[in-house]
Each structure stands twice: as C-alpha cells, then as structure tokens.
C-alpha cells in the first residue's frame, strides 16, 4: 500500500509561445524509488530520447495525465489562465489523488491552492516535473505532426507552431487556420 504522503505529482506545460494549437500540460506521479534514468527538462533532450523516455515514464509512473487548453480557450482566457486550466485538467486526469503537487514555474492554479507548490525551474530539479515536461512535449509534438499532415504548407512538424520565419511566411501566404491563436501578435494582425 502506498502511503498518501508519498504521492507527489509533478506538473509542467509546453506550448505557451507558439502561434497555433493547444497549450498542453502533463502531471506525473512517480514511485519514490523509480529507476528511470536520464530525466531532464524536455528542451534539453533530443526528440528520439524524449520519445523513449515518454514510453518509460508511462510504463513506470503510478499515474499520469495530460490536459489541454485549446487555441480558442487561449484566445478567450489569455495564455496564462489557459495554462493554469491545462494544468488543472492534467491533474484531473490522474487515476489517484496526490498529497502534494509540485508545479514548474511561479504560479499555482487556484483550484490547487491547498496542495500546490510552485517550484521555479522545477523541470530541472524535480524528477516528477521533468517527467511531466517530457510527456507534455511529446504529446504536443504529436499534435503538431497531425496538424502538419492536414496543413503541410505551414511546416508545423518542423517549427511546432512557433513564430519562425517559415511559419510567418506561411501565415502571410495562406492566412490563418482554425487552430491559430488569434490574439497572438502575428495572427492578430491578420484579423484586423
């Protein structure tokens, strides 16, 4: 039996800066003595290594969950509030209730005020947060690959929706698609 006080969930998000798609958060509860090697902030790993680790995390975790806030929700709420919403959804997707939640960054969703702890640079310091970072990144990258299949002219598989020269050029040539965040600068210009 796992003691309630041993259940610490790590939470992280990806996709605050892109012009397209959802912001994605993941939550992970790892066993205290897990044997997953090589956990790091997802940005410090190759795509291949992230994929390998994501599979290992999913096999080893006591529980994990993914939550999203859509481009439409981002436009309606703002990116900060949408990120907190995605985090709350990721935690709701867990199959067990954690005793405490360690969240990468400086903000805790209001719904978690009693059990959430913000950890600056948590994705470099806390294994469960590192694991959440990896799951969230892999999930969002898969979404971008699917969006790339539907709209290959934008190059989403390469730039993942970030405002690269390639993406900005495609925006000027082809305009917005439904998944673009209309309140973000380069997209907002096209709606005026």
Digits of tens for pLDDT over the chain (192 positions)? Answer: 455 556 899 999 999 999 999 999 999 999 988 999 999 889 899 999 999 999 999 999 999 999 999 999 999 999 999 999 999 999 999 999 998 999 999 988 887 766 888 999 988 899 999 999 999 999 999 999 999 999 999 999 999 999 999 999 999 999 999 999 999 999 999 887
- State how far the Cα of 8 lies from the Cα of 29, in Å rounded to an integer: 6
Mean residue pLDDT across the chain: 93
- State how far the Cα of 108 lies from the Cα of 9, in Å rounded to an integer: 13
Compute CA 147 distance to the chain's CA centroid, rounded to the nearest angstrom.
Answer: 17
pLDDT given at position 111: 78
Nearest to residue 20, comparing CAs of 159, 191, 174, 135?
159
pLDDT given at position 79: 97
| Tokens (6 digits) for 62 | 């006591």
| Tokens (6 digits) for 118 | 């913000």
- Which CATH code fits 4-141? 3.30.420.10
Nearest to residue 181, comparing CAs of 21, 17, 67?
21
Summarize pLDDT for 130-168 with one digit per residue, the tens.
999 999 999 999 999 999 999 999 999 999 999 999 999
What Rg, from alpha-carbon coordinates, does the chain have?
Answer: 17
Q: Are 13 and 28 in contact (CB under 8 A)?
A: no
Strand order in the sheet with 116-119: 63-69, 23-29, 8-14, 100-104, 116-119
pLDDT given at position 1: 40
């Amino acid at each position: 039996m796992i003691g309630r006080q041993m259940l610490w969930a790590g939470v992280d998000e990806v996709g605050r800066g892109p012009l397209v798609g959802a912001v994605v958060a993941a939550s992970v509860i790892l066993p205290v003595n897990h044997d997953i090697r090589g956990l790091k902030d997802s940005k410090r790993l190759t795509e291949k290594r992230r994929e390998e680790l994501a599979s290992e995390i999913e096999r080893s975790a006591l529980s994990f969950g993914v939550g999203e806030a859509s481009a439409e929700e981002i436009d309606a709420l703002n990116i900060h509030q949408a990120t907190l919403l995605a985090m709350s959804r990721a935690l709701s997707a867990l199959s067990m209730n954690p005793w405490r939640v360690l969240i990468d960054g400086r903000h805790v969703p209001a719904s978690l005020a009693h059990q959430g702890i913000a950890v600056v640079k948590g994705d470099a310091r806390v294994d469960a947060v590192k694991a959440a970072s990896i799951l969230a990144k892999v999930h969002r990258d898969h979404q971008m690959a699917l969006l790339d299949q539907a709209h290959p002219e934008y190059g989403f598989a390469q730039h993942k929706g970030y405002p690269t020269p390639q993406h900005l050029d495609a925006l000027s040539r082809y305009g917005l698609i439904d998944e673009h965040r209309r309140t973000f600068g380069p997209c907002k210009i096209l709606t005026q």
